[in-house]
Structures are given as C-alpha cells and as structure tokens.
Amino acid sequence: MAQYSNEIKLELLRSFYLSYSLQQKGLSINKITLDFIDLHLLNVLNEEPKSIKQLCTLTNLDRKEINKRITKQIKAGLIEKKTMEDDKRSSILVLKQEGKLAEKESSKKINQVLEITTSNLSLKEERSVLKYLKDLNDALTDVI
C-alpha cells in the first residue's frame, strides 16, 4: 500500500471531486435534472412503493429533505402519492411510468461506467475492490 498510497489518495480525491461536480450539475434524463439523491430515491422506489418514513430510514435523510425531493419529483411527473386503502391517513409513493423510464436511463448510465471500470478485473481484484469500497463506505459513514 505504501508504494501507491499517494497515487491512490490523489485518484480518490479526484473521484470525490468529479462526483461532487456531477452532484452539483445533476444528470439530465428526459429533460429533467436529477442529482444522486434523486436518482437513489427513484432506484429505491423502483423496487417497490414506499412510505416517506421508509424512505427516510432507507436513505438516512430527514423528513424535510425527503419531502422537498418527493415534491420536486411529483411535479416532474416521476412519482405519485397514493392514499392507503386500509388507512386513509397514510400514503405510499409509487413510481409513475416516466419515473420508471428515468430510473432505467440513470441505471443504464451508471452500468456503463461500472462496465468500463470493472470489465477487466480478475476475481481477486474484484474482491479487493469490493472490500475497499465497503471499508470506504464504513469510514465515510463514521465521518458523516
């Protein structure tokens, strides 16, 4: 590690800066600009409908932030809020067709990046990258 630690640090910082830049700029999908958090919400809702409380838990975001983003996505026609049949006070968030298309398009772009960066890795290298990413995420979680 010591042999490449400075290069790793520089490349990691470069990745953070590029990710931050993309987060600020957003990703334009079907004429709608979405940042990473918006895309993550679409991805989570694509699995199955969720309540705002569930989204808060899954994303580690507070209710105010979730509401702001959900309102934006409802106005953009990506998500709709449906009242629960058994409890009229509760609602769930469901991806509309436009939201499913946006999620699919964003996943496609992310998968292109992943394919470029991982296609030539050996199994051992894949395991090393996976371990590194898990350690990185744990360290970031501790800092945040």
Over residues 13-70, the pLDDT tens digits come to 888 878 778 777 777 766 778 888 898 999 999 999 999 999 999 888 999 999 999 9
Question: Is 95 buried (19+), middle (13-18) or exposed (0-12) by CB count in 10 A?
Answer: buried
Query: Does the pLDDT at position 79 exceed 90?
Result: yes
For each of the domains in the chain, give its residue range(s) and CATH number, in order of start: 28-143 (1.10.10.10)
pLDDT tens, 80-116?
Answer: 999 888 888 889 999 999 999 989 988 888 889 889 9
CA distance 46 to 100: 7
Tens digits of residue pLDDT in 3-21: 878 888 888 888 887 877 8
pLDDT at 127: 92
pTM for the predicted model, two decimal places: 0.74
Confidence at residue 2, expressed as pLDDT on a 0 to 100 scale: 64
